């Protein structure tokens, strides 16, 4: 029994020595790897492949103003980043501002005409009602009543027309305000300016139908 125990211990020792040699002397060499921290940067290396292709931005917009005018501000240059809603281009706002002032003055005049016309209509209506009461007593003639009713109807029509004129003048103010908004180009998304074809002081015009003009701004989202 003791001899078997000795033999078992010898075998376990040989196995332990073999495992130790495998883990140290005969262990495989580790594979060398290169670790690089990920970071943002420009694409400067050329990638070759057996296939031809094109690298495109996820979002890209070629923008031109909807109205003509002289450029007074270009906040971002080529390669600079911007946020959605930032001003990319501003045209001279003096003419639209003058048009807005004129439209508001016309609105005030139209409103004054409306007040005058509607007051006249109310007065003509009261006069027609008064003559009707007198006609019931036989004091005034039918011709006088007919004339008063015609005058009241004409004055009421003038009042309605003046109200429509006020609405038209108010719409003209809204139109000029929208035209002023078109003198400012804002960024449609976060991105960078890829190309800029206009400078401060230059005059730009919108592209006419059927005649494409290169865009003023070319922006993209990298």
pLDDT tens column, 85-140 = 999 999 998 888 899 999 999 999 999 999 998 998 888 888 888 877 777 777 76
Distance CA 52, CA 194 (A): 23
Does residue 211 contact residue 55 with C-beta atoms inside 8 Å? no
Angle between helices 142-181 and 94-136 (to 10 degrees): 160
pLDDT at position 77 over 80 = yes
d(CA 93, CA 66): 14
Instruction: Residue 216: count other Cβ atoms within 10 Å of its Cβ.
Output: 22
pLDDT class of 141 with cuts at 50, 70, 90: confident
pLDDT at 44: 61
Distance CA 185, CA 155 (A): 48
Lowest mean pLDDT among 27-31, 60-64, 127-131, 191-195: 27-31
pLDDT at 66: 84
Closest of 79, 112, 101, 57 to residue 192, by C-alpha: 79
Q: How confident is the model over 186-212, as pLDDT tens digits?
A: 999 999 999 898 899 988 887 666 666
């Amino acid at each position: 029994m003791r001899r078997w125990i000795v033999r078992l211990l010898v075998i376990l020792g040989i196995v332990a020595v073999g495992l130790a040699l495998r883990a140290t002397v005969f262990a495989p060499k580790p594979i060398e790897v290169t670790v690089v921290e990920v970071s943002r940067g420009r694409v400067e290396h050329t990638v070759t492949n057996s296939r031809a292709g094109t690298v495109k931005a996820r979002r890209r917009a070629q923008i031109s103003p909807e109205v003509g005018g002289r450029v007074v501000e270009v906040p971002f240059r080529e390669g600079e980043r911007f946020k959605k809603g930032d001003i990319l281009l501003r045209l001279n706002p003096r003419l639209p501002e003058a048009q807005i002032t004129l439209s508001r003055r016309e609105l005030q005049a139209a409103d004054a005409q409306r007040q005058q016309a509607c007051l006249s209509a109310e007065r003509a209506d009261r006069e027609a009602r008064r003559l009707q009461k007198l006609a019931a007593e036989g004091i005034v003639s039918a011709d006088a009543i007919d004339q008063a009713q015609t005058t009241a109807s004409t004055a009421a029509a003038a009042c309605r027309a003046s109200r429509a004129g006020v609405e038209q003048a108010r719409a003209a103010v809204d139109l000029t305000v929208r035209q002023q908004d078109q003198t400012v180009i804002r960024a449609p998304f976060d991105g960078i300016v890829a190309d800029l074809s206009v400078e401060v002081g230059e005059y730009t015009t919108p592209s006419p139908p059927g005649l494409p003009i290169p865009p003023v701004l070319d922006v993209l989202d990298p």
